[in-house]
Amino acid sequence: QVQLVQSGGEVKKPGASVKVSCKASGYTFHFYGITWVRQAPGQGLEWMGWTSAYSGNTKYAQKFQGRMTMITDKSASIAYMELRTLTADDTAVYYCARRHFYGEGDNHFDPWGQGTLVTVSA
């Protein structure tokens, strides 16, 4: 079955970087994109960006532009998200999800990984 399995939780100090992995299985990896979404404690879902697993093209939410990098490894069917210069506000559960694209303005995300808790604390 289609599955996305993410790396385990991380504890980081302010100013550090974190890299979360997302291993895909059960489908042809480069036929779909990967999106990243996070949820801070007690908050809603926040879109961070997406990447094409085929071309490597990326689209970042303005808030994360310059501080976040998304890459994909087609040979291993793994997507990575790196977030740099962490602050306490980056404490959140980070999710990857497969992006379905039907046309401009017509996308959805399914399935989602299990989530990775990143805690930023001094």
Partner 1 sequence: QSVLTQPPSASGTPGQKVTISCSGATSNIGRNTVNWYQHLPGTAPKVLIYSKNQRASGVPDRFSGSKSGTSASLAISGLQSEDEGDYYCAVWDDSLNAWVFGGGTKLTVL
Closest CA to 95 of 118, 74, 61: 118
With beta carbons less than 8 A apart as the criterion, state whether 67 and 54 touch: no
The two structure tokens encoding residue 116: 């990775």
| 97 touches partner 1 (CB under 8 A) | yes
What is the rounded distance in angstroms from the CA atom of residue 44 to the CA atom of residue 38?
8
CB atoms within 10 A of CB 13: 9
- The correct pick among 35, 40, 70, 78 for binding partner 1 (CB under 8 A) is 35
| 109 touches partner 1 (CB under 8 A) | yes
| 83 touches partner 1 (CB under 8 A) | no
Stretch that binds partner 1, among 13-21, 26-34, 82-90, 97-105 (CB under 8 A): 97-105
Contact footprint for partner 1 (CB under 8 A)? 35, 37, 44-47, 50, 61-62, 95, 97, 100, 102, 104-115
